[in-house]
Structures are given as C-alpha cells and as structure tokens.
Amino acid sequence: MIKTVDHAGAEGLVHIENLVKRYGSFVALDHLNLDVKEGEIFGLLGPNGSGKTTAINCMLALLKYDKGMIRIFGQEMAPDNYQVKKDMGIVLQNVAVFDELTVYENIDYFCGLYVKNKIRRKELVDEAIRFVGLEEHRKMRPRKLSGGLLRRLNIACGIAHRPKLIFMDEPTVAVDPQSRNRILEGIMELNRQGSTIIYTSHYMEEVEQICTRIAIMDHGRCIASGTKEQLTGMIKTGEKITIEGVALDEEQLRKIRGLPHVFQADYENGILRLQCTEAKHNLVRVLHCLEEQEIHFGRVFSEQPTLNDVFLHITGTQLRD
Amino acid sequence: MFHLVRYSIIWKVKNFNIFFWPFIFPIILGTLFYIAFGNVKEADFETIPAAVVEETKDSRVFLEFLEELQKNGTIQVERMEAREAEQALKEQKIEGILYAADTPYLKVNKNGLSQSVLQSILESYFDGKKTIENVMKNSPEKLGTALERMADHQNMVRQVSLGGSTTDGNASYFYALVATACLYGCFIGQGSARWLQANLSPLAARQCASSMNRTAMILTELLSSFLLHFLNVAVLLAYLRWVLGLDFQGRLPEMLLVILTGCVMGVSLGILVLSIGKWQEKIKIGIMLGITMTAGFLAGLMFAQMKYIVDQYAPVINRFNPAALIADAFYCINVYDDPSRYARDLLTLSVMSAAMLAVSVLVVRRVRYDSI
C-alpha cells in the first residue's frame, strides 16, 4: 500500500522517478519515487535494510541502478556531472576521515576537493570547525577523538564547502545524547542558513524533531510521505491514554468503551489502555467518566500518535523490528 | 591539485603499511643481503677445477684464453678426453667441462657459484671474439691493437669477471633488490586506488561523490605515490651505493632514470590491480604480492642464476618482466655499458606503465558500482 499526502507540483531539487535497484534477486529499491523541495530537511525514515542508504548512494551516482531516473538541480545525475556535485555535500553513515591527518587537515583536505582558493578555504575550514565545536581539537588525530566528536568531524568534512544540498546518512549512529543534540541542532542551523538536507535515520524521534517532510520507507518502497502531522493524520489512531492502578468491572469497562472517539479499550492487571480517534479533550472525557462512576485510579499517561504508529498501521510491524 | 598531492603524501608517509613495505623493508633486505654475502664474496674467487675437451683442432685461441685464466688462478683447467671428463664431472672432481668446439660450450651437472663463474668465462670469451669480429668488419686497420688486447686475457678477464665489468658476483642480487623495491610501489599505488574506488572504503566513496574530476584524482594519486616512492628507492640506492659501498658505481643520472621509470611501473601496477576485477581487496593484495615476488624471483632476487636461466630458456618472460627489465637496465649501466639495451628496457617499462594507467583510467573514470 503506497500512501502519499503531498501533492507534487513543480519538480523538486531532487527528483527520483521509478528507481529500481536489485542485488541479484533481492529488490533493494522498488520503484521509488521522491521529490525533495528546496529548503527542506527531508527525512528518509525506515528500518535497517529498508533501502535508505541504497537510495542515497544512487543519488550520489555511486551505485548502479536497474531502472528509473534521478535528477538533481534539474540535471540528470551521473558520476561525471561535476557541476551538480560541486553543490552537494555528503555525510556518510561510516566515518570517512583520514586517521593520519589532524582534524584541521582532514577538513582542509575535503574542502579542497571543492574549493581551490586557499584563503577562502581557510575561512571555510575555520567556520566548519567552529560550527561543529571542534576548536579545541583542531590539531588532534581522529583516533584520539570520542565517538561523538568523531561524528562531528565527519559532518564538518561534508559541509565545510557550504553545499546547497547535503546528504546525511544516519549521522548520529552510536553517538551519546549530548553529541546527538548538538548534531541535530547543527543540522537545523545548516537548514536555516539555506541548505536543503536529505536526512536518513531509523530513529523516528530524530526525524520527527528536525524534518520538515518525511518519507517512510519499507522494503525499498516509499510507503508514505508528508509532514509529521500529515502522516499521523493518515491513521485512525489519535491519542493513546494509559491509566494505571484502576479496578474495573465489566459494566464500568462497557461504559468507557461507549465513550465518544474511544475505538479500543483494553483492561489487564489493573491497567487500562485506550486508543482514541483524533479529537480534542479525549483525556478530559475519560477522566470525567471515571469520576462519575467513583472509580479510583493511579498514574495517567497520554501519548500523541508517532511515526511508529503510522509505520505499524501501514505495514503491521514495528518500525524498529 | 598541489594541495591534494601534499595531503596525499602526508597521509601516505604516516601510514605504516604504505611506508614500511616499499621503503623500510628493501633497506632491511639489502642490509641482510650485504651481511650474508660478506663471506661468500671471498669464497667466490677460489680456484675452480674444470676440464677442457678438444672437439676441434682449430681451438688454439680458446685454449690460450683458458691458460691465461689458469695463470690468474681463477680456474684450474685440465685437458681430458670426453669420456674421462664426463666421469670426472660425475664424480664431482671438476665443476664443469669446457668443450673447445667451433663454438665452445659448457657442460655442468648442477647450478651454483662455480658453474656461474664458468658460464661467465665462456661469455667473456664470446664477447671478446665478437669484438674482434666487429673490428675486422668495421676497422680492419685496428685489428693489431685489438688482437694485442685480446691476447692479454688476464687484463680482460679481470675487468669482466663474473658479472661483466663488476668484480662483485653478488651485485645481481642487489640489482634485483632495487628492481623489486621499485615494484613494491604497487602497494602505494594500491593505497591510491583504494582511495579512488567508492566500493572499497567510505573515504573513497566520499571522494568519488565530490566534484573532483576523476582523471585529475587519478593523476593526483599517481603523482603523490610516484614522488614518494621515487624518494624511497632513491634513498635505498644511496644506501646501497654510499653506505654499503656496493657496485652501483655507474652514472648516477642514468640510475635515477631507471628507478624513476621503475617506480612509475610499480605504482601503475598497484593502481591497475586495484582498479580491475571484482575480487576482494585482500585477494588483490595477494595478487600484487604474487606478481612482485614472482617478478623478483625471475629477475634473480632469491637465486642470482635464475635471470640467466630464464634468459636462456624463456627469454620472452624477462623481456616483459618489469623486475628483470629494471635489473637489466642496472646491468646496462654498471656492467655492459649497452645504451641501446638500456633504452629498450626503459621504453618497454614506460609503454607497460602507460598501458596500465590507461586501462585504470578507463575503468575508474565513469564507474558506478554494483554494491557499496
């Protein structure tokens, strides 16, 4: 089932049409269609093996594909389309830096692949070092850096030349929460400065936090795309309410099930779990019902629907399965 | 591009694998050879017992030549009948039989230093004979002078003993060592190619996705690898010539030209092997090790006579064996003084390098990979 809630207008900054990539009999990308608009942080969300990295590698013209078309900045992407490549930056899933060079030298080297002018390059490298917060580590070798700092160096190497389009393939894998927050803030800042970002992750919280539009991938296909609100609005589930320490008889449970917008109510071991359709004041209505029947209760939790619910709704499996 | 070449050299110098094998290892090997051959050198010039069998009555010149050598103490020749000589050879009383025929020839029953000396003596005779024939053909008026010199066999033999004009019979090992060291440049080239193939490392993927032109990328890596390796082998050469005092006493510019060409060959070989085929990197490194060791072996790195054996039985192999070509070019400078052969060796190496690079560029230039 393919669902999409955005209506494609003019061709995006990145346009992918019917992209098919096979590894032998395994279909890694199955007629993938995507459009990334200028100025977006576009999230590619999906479980491991869903085809996110394969899609990125195809967009970078590193990988052969069997069918389809990729256009970036309105031009067909090819290994020797250097005009397009000069405005692209990449931050790969695996840290790609030289162990033999210092932090400064690494960034200078990669920036030098795009920027020939020495003075301009120095400015950009200094700026990138400040941006990722590695000022105190500029003369250190990568192996002396912690995992989080290494990831920041990896990002600096990909963005120092100020690209218009940045591909970030799971840049926060194996990173501590502090570094992760710093990286995510940095990505949003890059976007504010004018870069369009394609961001892949299997962490739905990250994607929810930073992406302006999201495509959910599974088995090489885009199963849904849109803003977070559009995606969560696609499914029946609205608010999820959990009430602990509650004792109910059959009649009381029947009354709760009969409340407006409650479409599922499970009661087990003193815990009541309710799923409501999208509507306002669900929690108030439920608590009012409990009070009316003089039912005592303990802690109460309310959760808004997540992208995981969307994924679960569409595929029948958890995003992190 | 200078920026990239500079960084490319820096990271290569700091990379142990890239630095050790092409640079440190040949120096260690050269030192070990030097220590090992120290005593052998003295034993080289022990008198070698041999028999001479007259197969033609018109062999006066050859017999006189051998008698002069006998006076010199290099060999001890005894005239024998064919059957008697065969028996003596079988019983290992002599090291070989020199047949004084229309075209003299040598018979031995094993390979070794003494047999090599006898072979060299025979070759020296042919060289001298050829010289006289050339003089007769081109400058008959100088025949007298030439004959006088020919008659002075002792002088001639001293100048062209063992390996030609050198007096060190082990020099061939060191020529083969330098040749193999040049080919070890393939490990630097391999490092370069690894950095050019997106499917081999994330670093390469990052570089391949950049706006750097692929051909310029290849040239950058080639240039940095070559400069570095040329320096490696130049240091090795200086070490062999000035520190160990070995027979690399020919003209230095010509020797530098040989290692320059040899280094391009080595680096090109590495880039080619890493650029073609879909084997794993470890397999490709194994292939390179196999190629360099085989080339070195056939050029005489492990067994000096191997080069002669290949030249004798399958000369075409060493016409295209890069290690043999490099070693041969060193012979041309230090031993033969043969400019045309020297030029041919370098030309062959250059053509082979150009072909390897052309294939590499074509393979890598616009490539997309099946998987990364």
CA distance B370 to chain A (A): 5
Q: H/E/C letters for each residue in A10-76?
A: CCCCEEEEEEEEEECCEEEEEEEEEEECCCCEEEEECCCCCCHHHHHHHHCCCECCCEEEEEECCEE
Interface check for B366 against chain A (CB to CB < 8 A): the answer is yes
pLDDT (0 to 100) of residue A320: 55
pLDDT (0 to 100) of residue A6: 46
pLDDT (0 to 100) of residue B160: 44
- Is a pLDDT exceeding 50 seen at residue B161? no
The secondary structure element, H or E, covering residue A308 is helix A307-315
Mutation pick from A59, A60, A139 vs chain B, by most beta carbons of B within 10 Å, is A60
pLDDT (0 to 100) of residue B147: 63
- In A, minimum Cα distance to B215 occurs at A80
CA distances from B333 to B41, B175, B232, B275, B340 (A): 22, 11, 21, 34, 11
pLDDT (0 to 100) of residue A3: 42
Q: What is the pLDDT along chain A (321 residues), one digit of tens a residue?
A: 444 444 445 678 999 999 999 999 999 999 999 999 999 999 999 888 899 999 999 999 999 999 999 999 999 999 889 999 999 999 998 899 999 999 999 999 999 999 999 999 999 999 999 999 999 999 999 999 998 899 999 999 999 999 999 999 999 887 888 888 888 999 999 999 999 999 998 888 889 899 999 999 999 999 999 998 888 888 777 788 999 988 888 889 999 999 888 888 999 999 999 988 866 788 888 999 999 888 989 999 988 888 888 888 887 776 654
pLDDT (0 to 100) of residue B279: 75
Write out chain A residues lying below 8 Å of B367, CB-based: 79
- In A, minimum Cα distance to B11 occurs at A100
Write out chain B residues lying below 8 Å of A25, CB-based: none
What's the rounded Cα separation, in Å, for the pair A107 and A120? Answer: 13
Q: H/E/C letters for each residue in chain B?
A: CHHHHHHHHHHHHHCHHHHHHHHHHHHHHHHHHHHHHHHHHHHHCCCEEEEEEECCCCCHHHHHHHHHHHHHCCEEEEECCHHHHHHHHHCCCCCCEEEECCCCEEECCCCCHHHHHHHHHHHHHHHHHHHHHHHHHHCHHHHHHHHHHHHCHHHHHHHCCCCCCCCCCCHHHHHHHHHHHHHCHHHHHHHHHHCCCCCCCHHHHHHHCCCCCHHHHHHHHHHHHHHHHHHHHHHHHHHHHHHCCCCCCCCHHHHHHHHHHHHHHHHHHHHHHHHCCCCCHHHHHHHHHHHHHHHHHHCCCCCCHHHHHHHHHCHHHHHHCHHHHHHHHHHHHHHHCCHHHHHHHHHHHHHHHHHHHHHHHHHHCCCCECCC
**B211, A86: Cβ pair inside 8 Å?**
yes
What's the rounded Cα separation, in Å, for the pair B194 and B208? Answer: 11
Q: Which residues of A45-76 are buried (b: 16+ CB within 10 A; e: fewer)?
A: bbbeebbbbbbbbbbbbbbebeebebbbbeee
Question: Scanning the structure block, which residue is given the tokens 């490709």?
Answer: B284
**A98, B201: Cβ pair inside 8 Å?**
no
Interface check for B253 against chain A (CB to CB < 8 A): the answer is no
Q: How confident is the model at residue B231 (pLDDT cuts 50, 70, 90)?
A: very high
Mutation pick from B3, B10, B15, B206 vs chain A, by most beta carbons of A within 10 Å, is B206
Mean pLDDT of chain B: 81
Greatest mean pLDDT among A150-164, A299-313, B105-119, B356-370: A150-164
**A79, B367: Cβ pair inside 8 Å?**
yes
- Is a pLDDT exceeding 50 seen at residue B159? no
CA atoms within 13 A on the CB side of A291: 6
Of the two residues A213 and B66, the one the predictor is more confident about is A213
CA dihedral A127, A132, A134, A138 (to 10 degrees): -50
Q: How many CB pairs under 8 A join A and B?
A: 95
CA distances from A45 to A54, A118, B23, B77, B157 (A): 13, 39, 49, 89, 83
Write out chain B residues lying below 8 Å of A165, CB-based: none
ipTM for the whole complex: 0.82
The secondary structure element, H or E, covering residue A183 is helix A177-192
**A101, B11: Cβ pair inside 8 Å?**
yes
Question: Scanning the structure block, which residue is given the tokens 């010539």?
Answer: B241
Mutation pick from A21, A23, A63 vs chain B, by most beta carbons of B within 10 Å, is A63
Q: What is this structure's pTM?
A: 0.72
What would the mean pLDDT of B205-228 be, rounded to a whole number?
88
The token duo for A239 is: 């608010």
Please name the member of A62, A95, A113 whose beta carbon is closest to the beta carbon of B369.
A62
B295 touches B367 (CB < 8 A): no
**B369, A63: Cβ pair inside 8 Å?**
yes
- Is a pLDDT exceeding 90 seen at residue B91? no
Q: How confident is the model at residue B233 (pLDDT cuts 50, 70, 90)?
A: very high
Lowest mean pLDDT among A226-230, B43-47, B196-200, B244-248: B43-47
- Which strands, in side-by-side order, build the sheet including A221-226? A3-4, A221-226, A213-218, A41-45, A196-201, A165-169, A88-91
**A109, B4: Cβ pair inside 8 Å?**
yes
**B7, A157: Cβ pair inside 8 Å?**
no
- Is a pLDDT exceeding 90 seen at residue B230? yes
Interface check for B216 against chain A (CB to CB < 8 A): the answer is no
What would the mean pLDDT of B193-200 be, rounded to a whole number?
77
List, in order, residues 6 or more apart from B60 with CB less than 8 Å away. Answer: none
pLDDT (0 to 100) of residue A143: 93
Interface check for B368 against chain A (CB to CB < 8 A): the answer is yes
pLDDT (0 to 100) of residue A91: 94
Among candidates A277, A263, A282, which has minimal Cα distance to A233?
Answer: A277
pLDDT (0 to 100) of residue B175: 86
pLDDT (0 to 100) of residue A7: 42
Q: How many CB atoms lie within 10 A of CB B146?
A: 18
Lowest mean pLDDT among A125-134, B132-141, B150-159: B150-159
pLDDT (0 to 100) of residue B285: 83
CA distances from B336 to A14, A148, B37, B246, B341 (A): 66, 63, 23, 17, 9
Reported residue count of chain B is 372
Interface check for B14 against chain A (CB to CB < 8 A): the answer is yes
A213 touches A267 (CB < 8 A): no
Lowest mean pLDDT among A172-186, B84-98, B152-166, B234-248: B152-166
pLDDT (0 to 100) of residue B40: 52
- Is a pLDDT exceeding 60 seen at residue B23? yes
- In A, minimum Cα distance to B205 occurs at A62
**High-pLDDT (> 70) share of chain B, %:** 89
Of the two residues B326 and B197, the one the predictor is more confident about is B326
What would the mean pLDDT of B93-114 be, rounded to a whole number?
85
- Is a pLDDT exceeding 50 seen at residue B153? no
What's the rounded Cα separation, in Å, for the pair B132 and A65? Answer: 71
Of the two residues B169 and A230, the one the predictor is more confident about is A230
What's the rounded Cα separation, in Å, for the pair A79 and B69? Answer: 70
- In A, minimum Cα distance to B6 occurs at A109
